[in-house]
Amino acid sequence: MTGVSITERLFGRADPGDRRGPETDAAVSRKAVSLAQQGHLGEAIACFDRVLAEDPANVKMWNNKGVFLDLLGRDQDALACWEMALSIDPEFAPAWVSRGMLHRRRNRFDEALACYDRALEINPDSAVAWYNRSGIFVAQRLLDEAVACYERVLALDPHFVAAWTDLGYARFLQHRHEEAVACYDRAIADDPGSVRVWSLKGGALYALGEYRKSLECFDRVLSLDPKYAAGWSMKCSVLYHLGMYRHALACADKALEINPSCELTTQVRKMLVGLIEKW
């Protein structure tokens, strides 16, 4: 799964109940995200502490502080923040989602699912909760259940790029490759610069035997990220199937230049060298 960004886990962006003035909940959250992106997680957490010193009942800031503590791997401290939020407002669905995400990453699937289900009891129209719920089923390879969650997400938010991407991958795993390509196209329509989505689309087209179209996808991938070793490896495979062995070899060399430890690409390179020497 592509996951949910930090900002999608934060709350207090523009709600009518936000505090007013230069230090609104939204402004504090934006500042914290900026600090986190610069690697200053401690300073980001301090932003929330300053608000909570003045407004200890601010459930949004308790949730957001927990999110950043979670990013630091401080599980118990993060859980304590969400417990505090829920002691103030047991119906604050975002804190249930945040708790679920921590449990999911620790492979505590039952606990995570219970958290998401509680969030959805409170807010059945939470696309983020439905999306995260799908991750439990993907991890357990219960693809039909995961697909049902993705479809619910997209009924609520047709522009939820991560859901289109992950629905495409679920369809790929179900060997429904044409449907996978259609999902990736929907994701690309909203995020044309995603290396991951172009790469997944290329893989689905490759599985369909659409090698020319697959090659176009990997060319796009490499135009977006020339140092993406897996993109060079996949382009190598496509060119091999097109009989373009010397071009394939050049791609294998490029992939190994970036990632010399890839055994599969090393094996493919040896095979290509053998084929070329026979000519």
Q: Is residue 162 part of a domain?
A: no
- pLDDT of 272 reads 94
Q: Using pLDDT thresholds of 50, 70 and 90, give the confidence band for residue 35.
A: confident
Tokens 């629905």: give the residue.
167
State yes or no: pLDDT of 16 exceeds 60: no
SS (H, E, C) the chain: CCCCCHHHHCCCCCCCCCCCCCCCHHHHHHHHHHHHHCCCHHHHHHHHHHHHHHCCCCHHHHHHHHHHHHHCCCHHHHHHHHHHHHHHCCCCHHHHHHHHHHHHHCCCHHHHHHHHHHHHHHCCCCHHHHHHHHHHHHHCCCHHHHHHHHHHHHHHCCCCHHHHHHHHHHHHHCCCHHHHHHHHHHHHHHCCCCHHHHHHHHHHHHHCCCHHHHHHHHHHHHHHCCCCHHHHHHHHHHHHHCCCHHHHHHHHHHHHHHCCCCHHHHHHHHHHHHHHHHC
**Percentage with pLDDT > 90 across the chain:** 80
Whether residue 146 is predicted with pLDDT greater than 80 in this model: the reply is yes
Q: Tell me, yes or no, whether 122 lies in a domain.
A: no
Asked if residue 128 is part of any domain, the answer here is no
Domain housing 14: 1-103
Is pLDDT at 4 greater than 70 in this prediction? no
Within a domain: 176: no
Produce one character per residue of 177-216: b if its CB has 16 or more CB atoms within 10 Å, e if not: bebbbbbbebbbeebeebbbbbbbbbbbbbeeebbebbbb
pTM over 0.75: yes
Q: What is the pLDDT of residue 6?
A: 45
- Whether residue 20 is predicted with pLDDT greater than 70 in this model: the reply is no
CATH code: domain of residue 218: 1.25.40.10
For residue 24, pLDDT over 90 is answered with: no
Residues 6+ positions from 72 with CB-CB distance below 8 Å: 41
Report the pLDDT averaged over residues 7-11. 50
Average pLDDT over residues 165-190: 98
Residue 7 has pLDDT above 50, yes or no: no
* Spatial contact of 51 and 44, defined as CB atoms under 8 Å apart: no
Q: Report residue 38's pLDDT band, with 50, 70 and 90 as the boundaries.
A: confident
In a domain? residue 118: no
The more confident residue out of 169 and 11 is 169
- 278 confidence band (pLDDT: 50, 70, 90): confident
> What is the structure's pLDDT at 265?
95
Question: How many C-beta neighbours within 10 Å does residue 171 have?
Answer: 22
Phi-psi category of 93—alpha, beta or left, where left has phi over 0 and alpha has psi -120 to 50?
Answer: alpha
| C-alpha 10 chain-centroid distance | 16
- Please tell me the total count of domains within the chain: 2
Q: Which pLDDT value is given to residue 155?
A: 98
Residue range 91-107: average pLDDT? 95
Domain end point (choices 49, 72, 103): 103
Domain boundary among 70, 103, 136: 103
Q: Is the pLDDT of residue 220 over 80?
A: yes
On the question of pLDDT at 21 being above 80, the answer is no
- 59, part of any domain: yes
Residue 277: pLDDT band with limits 50, 70, 90 = confident
State pLDDT tens for residues 221-273: 999 999 999 999 999 999 999 999 999 999 999 999 999 999 999 999 999 99
The pLDDT confidence band at residue 42, using thresholds 50, 70 and 90, is confident
End of a domain among 103, 128, 158? Answer: 103
Residue 41 lies in a domain: yes
User: What percent of the chain is modeled with pLDDT above 70?
Assistant: 91
Q: What is the Cα Rg of the chain in Å? A: 23
240 in any annotated domain: yes
Residue 71 pLDDT grade (very low, low, confident, very high; cuts 50, 70, 90) = confident
